Structures are given as C-alpha cells and as structure tokens.
Amino acid sequence: MKMSSAISRFMAGAAITLCLCGGSAMAADGLLWFADGRPAPQARQAIELLAAAASQGLEPQDYNASALQQAIGQAAQGSAPEPVTVARLEAALTTALERYLSDLHRGRIDPQRIHHNYHAPRSDGFEPAAYLRAAVQNQRLAQAAREAEPGLPLYARLREALGQYRERVGHPAWQQALPPLPGGKLAPGQAYAGLAMLAQRLAVLGDLAPGAPDAQLPPRYEGLLVDAVQAFQLRHGLAADGVVGKATLAQLQVTPAARARQIALMLERLRWTPLTQSPRMIVINIPEFVLRAYEVRDGRIHVQQEMKVVVGKSLDTRTPLFDEDMRFIEFSPYWNIPPSIARAETVPKLRRDPGYLAREDMEFVSADGRVDQTVSAAQLDAVLAGRSRIRQRPGPKNALGDIKFVFPNHDNIYLHHTPATQLFERDRRDFSHGCIRVEQPVALAKFVLKGMPEWTEDRIQKAMRRGQSATLRLAEPVPVLIAYGTALVKEGRMFFLEDIYGLDRLLDAALRQRTQNLSSIKE
C-alpha cells in the first residue's frame, strides 16, 4: 500500500530520530494513538498540545510538531497506512509527548550548566512514560498536561502575559525607533518630536490609559504622559522620576518580541528553581534586589517578610546562585576579611596608612589564634602568605553590622546587616563583594527563629547590641535560595528587570543550542 507524501517525508527521518532520541516501543497491550489503523481522538489532542507548545514558552519544533501534525492528519484522511508506518508514527508521537511532558515539568536545561548551582530536586515520582500512558488510558491527556506544569501561580500569570506580549509583536508602535531625546534626556515641560509614538507605546503596554485620543496629547511632555513614564519606570526597575534618560529610553525601545522571549526564559527557570522545596524558605532574587521569607502551605507561597537587599557587583564580585540550609545566627559578629579582599584592598591601604587598622577596629589573627593590633611589614606579608588573617571587631564600624545569618557553603556567602544603610535607598543595589546585605535584620531574625519562641524581638535586639560575639544554632534549619528572575508579575502588572549578571543571555543561548541539536538529529 502506497504511503501519502506527507507520511513518506516524515518516515524518511523517523528511524534516525527514534533511535537517537530514545523513542518508546509499541506497548504489548495496545497502541496509544491508533485504533483500527487510524489515529484515535487522543492523537489529535496530542498533536494540539505539541502545536501549542509555544504558549508554554517551549519550542514546537523540539517535538517535531509540524511534521507529526501533517503525518497524523494524512493518516486520518487518506488510505489506511501500513502496520509498520502505524508503529513508527505511534512511537514518534509517544517520544514527542514524553519529551514535551518532561520539558514542561522539569525544564529543558540542567541549571548547573548556566551557573545555577542548585541541589538535585527531590524526586516527586514524575516519570514521563508512565505518566503519559496513564493519562491516555484514562482519557485525560489535556488535564494531565496542565497538571504537569509548575503549580506556582506566577507560572500561570506569566503564561497569560506571554500571550499578551506575543499579540503585540508587529504592533505599529514599534515599527520605528523613538526619536533621539532633546539634549540627551526628556524632562517634564520639554517639547519632543516623539510624543505621539511614546504615548502609543505606553498605552499598548498599559502604563497610559488606552484610547486617549491623540488630539488630547499636550504639546509638551507633561501631565498624564509623565505619570505613565513613571509607572513604566517602576515596572522596569528604574528610578521613577519621570525623566526619560538613556536607561529609560533603552527600555522603551525593547520590542514585544524581546519581552516575550524574556518571559519564556522565566517560565523555563520556574520549572527547575526549587522555590517550594521546604515549608519555610528564604529566597533572594538577584535582579530584583529583594529578599522574601515565606511559608509554603498546600503548594502555595505565603510571604511573611519582604525587604531590600544589596548583592554582589555585576562586574567582578557577583553573588553566586545556589541553595543551602541556614544553620546559625551570629550576633555582634567578627568580620573575617576574605583573603581576596585583604590582598586587593586592605593590605594596600595598611601599607599606605597603618592607622587604618585602629580606626576601623581591625586586628591580625595568626594561624595559632594569637591576636595582634600592631601593623608591620612582617604582619602584612603573613596575611599575603596565608599565615595570618585580618578581622574587624564587633561594633558600629563592623562591615557585617550587628548580625550575620550563616548557611555554610563553598563560596563563603552569607546574609548580614550593614552600617551603610543608605545603599538600600538606591534603585540598583549591586555593591557588595558577594555577600548579601539585608535591610531589616530583626524582622528576618524573627522569621528564622519562629520555632524558638524564647527568642523574642527584645532578646534579639539586645543580642545584636551587646557587642560581644555569640553564635546561636537554629533548632530547625531554614533553606536559603539565591535565585534569578528578570520577568515577574506583581499585583497584576508585568515587571521586567535588568539582566545584571547576563544569565538570561546564557540561558537563551543554551536553549537555542538545544533546539539546534534536536533539529540536526531529525535531519
């Protein structure tokens, strides 16, 4: 029996694809997708899922969706395909659905490949082949696919936003770039040739009330337009001053297609970032410069504390991404200056100005624990050689402030307070050497010590003010997750944050390479 042209073309590469991609063999108790030699209704449901993979931020071509759709369609309309063709189509569709469900549930990329050093997730019992077979046998494929998605409300909101931004692709508001700003910036009260285009973009994005007729636009940049720009700036992590400068203009020029890709990258991250691994968690989102302490109940996140943080500098001292358990709190801590900072900063300062040691309440500590507060060439050489270290005593000048939250890790990263509280007023807060400074240490300590009721707020504050270093072991460890997300939905609005560490670019490149590799296998 002669195969249709679509099936024939599909079958030309099917054997190679199935061999290299681990296709499932036909089950002994029957086929999943064919009945009496014809595609069953659930085959059409499967094809619809694969064809709509883009709505999940996935790539339909990763699942050979177009070729499968054409082949299954012709198998349904033409003469009945031969048994060997049915078997191969059955296996190819099964392979595609298993990969789709796995990608949807677990993600497509090993996060450690792109510097997200999270522990391997606890097994939730999800096995794509068994999950798929049960779904088809129970005639609930579409529902099972929805249940395979991450159960986070943020995931569903981002999917909705993804659809909205894709609808804006090709909108006239982005057909040409905004004109150059007068004098390098646009301040309230100035004239600007791009006012109509600016208003159109802000209206499409929801920052300016839609439908405002162009005739009502003021002749200068003022009023509702300034308010709309401030709303836009707030959603993009910028100073909401209403002045369109270089940074604001750059964000206004980003196309809906680029924003849709940014949302898709965040959907991928949500599949493997362990945001609900424990009943109580502390999560820092690096691009947002925000810490949230929350409880997880019935799979839902309930935020207990939210505060600003200062993170590692984007240029040279980035805060690494990982998850570890917080086990200790240090009150009135010493600051043991890391060797890299001592070599690059502290020792050179002491060579120029020996009095710096006393002014900053610092001292030398030798390998055998001896403390010395005298600056000498020998002491400085010992620090450089690793035979001694420099530490800062507890007190008002201590760089760690009056409390330190310890979650042991290879990078020696921890949370702490700081005497430089003015930095929390900045919109962009990457100023540290890698550790994370927290805005509200008492509130965080109360969350961490919730299971130790004897540690009241008053007792916490007294321990912080005592000026004598003391370490407290937590009764229950609290997981700390350092995460990275540049596309968020907050209070029903879409927020986009700068990719300060370039990790979106790494993820994007890794996903594109994966799609390219899968395409080369199919060929």
Sign for the CA dihedral angle at 382, 388, 393, 394 comes to: positive
Whether 19 is a known active-site residue: answer no
- Cα–Cα dist 328/19, whole Å: 51
List CB contacts of 432: < 8 A, sequence separation 6 or more.
Answer: 310, 311, 312, 313, 317, 319
**DSSP designation for 2:** P
Alpha carbon distance 193, 178 (integer Å): 9
Helix (H, G, I), strand (E, B), or coil: what is residue 181?
Answer: coil
Give the CA count within 13 Å in the CB-facing half-sphere of 3.
20
Q: Exposed e or buried b for every residue in 480-518, given b needs 16+ CB within 10 A?
A: bbbbbbbbbbeeeebbbbbbbbebbebbbebbeeeeeeb
| Alpha-carbon gap, residue 382 to 380, rounded angstroms | 5
Rounded distance, CA 106 to CA 444, Å?
A: 31
Distance in angstroms (rounded) separating the CA atoms of residues 235 and 315: 24
Catalytic residue among 105, 116, 236, 416: 416
Residue type, 316: D
Q: Please tell me which residue in 105, 116, 417, 435 is annotated as part of the active site.
A: 435
Please provide the DSSP assignment of 343-401 as one string: IIIIHHHHHH-TTHHHHTTEEEEETTS-EE----HHHHHHHHHTSEEEEE-SSTT-TTT
Residue 316 CB neighbours (<10 A): 9
- The structure tokens 């570890």 sit at 324
Half-sphere exposure of residue 281, counting CA atoms within 13 Å on the CB side?
22
DSSP string of 151-166, one letter each residue = --HHHHHHHHHHHHHH
Q: DSSP label at 244?
A: B
Amino acid sitting at position 403: I
Residue 267: C-alpha distances to residues 150, 254, 382, 396 (Å)? 9, 19, 50, 43
Cα angle vertex 50, ends 44, 52, to 5°? Answer: 100
Q: How far apart are CA 262 and CA 511, in angstroms?
A: 13
Of 98, 110, 27, 34, the residue nearest 63 (C-alpha)? 98
- SS3 label, residue 62: helix
Nearest to 72 by CA among 98, 113, 43: 43
Q: Is 435 a catalytic residue?
A: yes
Residue 395 in contact with residue 467, Cβ under 8 Å? yes
* Catalytic residue list: 416, 435
